[in-house]
Amino acid sequence: MSESLSSDGNYIGIVRGFMHNQRNLKRGYSTLEAVLLSMPAGYNCADLSLYKDAQVVFLLNGATNTPETSGDACIMIVQANELPFVPVSRSNDLSLWKMHHLQDSSVCIQTENEKVRNIPHSVINPLAVSATRGVACVFAARKRALVYILEGDEDDILETEC
């Protein structure tokens, strides 16, 4: 890993094209591709999920959460087709997967540029996403399950005590 990449340490890599089948070929994914994403400043990625084959949903925790506060977090939805995936070798030799090759095409994800749902609590994984229902369920501190309607307005939230 290169020096500048290892000093930041807040990156997520996404790879697509592992399955070489007809469905992927119809979508134009004939090669193995990857993208390196830099998470927003002040956030760490707790989990992520593919949503409707075209979007990636990130569950982000505020990096400054303390035991004295309930913390902050967010759900962020990113369009997968807008990410600059680059071809990578299909070699079985993992040493050929060099992160510094992806760093040149890495994308800094900004909460201002994406659809974001703020969560007034720290969250834990897993992130559960239902494409058929259009909802995401997250588990917050203090035994709360939060269900967000992904297609709706910012105010659409259901909160349940466990």
Give the Å distances, CA to CA, from 122 to 141, 147, 153: 6, 15, 21
The total of structural domains in the chain comes to 1
Global confidence as pTM: 0.77
Report if residue 143 sits inside a domain.
Answer: no
Long-range contacts of residues 95-99, Cβ cutoff 8 Å, at least 24 apart: 99/1, 99/2, 99/5, 99/13, 99/36
Cα–Cα distance for residue pair 10/39, rounded to 1 Å: 6
Structure tokens at 132: 């058929």
Report if residue 32 sits inside a domain.
Answer: yes
Q: Which of 77, 54, 63 is nearest to 127 (CA)?
A: 77
Structure tokens at 20: 């070489």
pLDDT digit string (tens) for 32-88?
888 999 998 889 999 999 999 889 999 999 877 566 667 789 999 999 999 988 887
- Looking at residue 67, its pLDDT comes to 63
pLDDT digit string (tens) for 89-116?
666 555 455 665 677 778 888 888 888 9
61 lies in which domain range? 3-122
Biggest CA–CA distance in the chain, Å, is 52
CB 94 within 8 A of CB 103: no
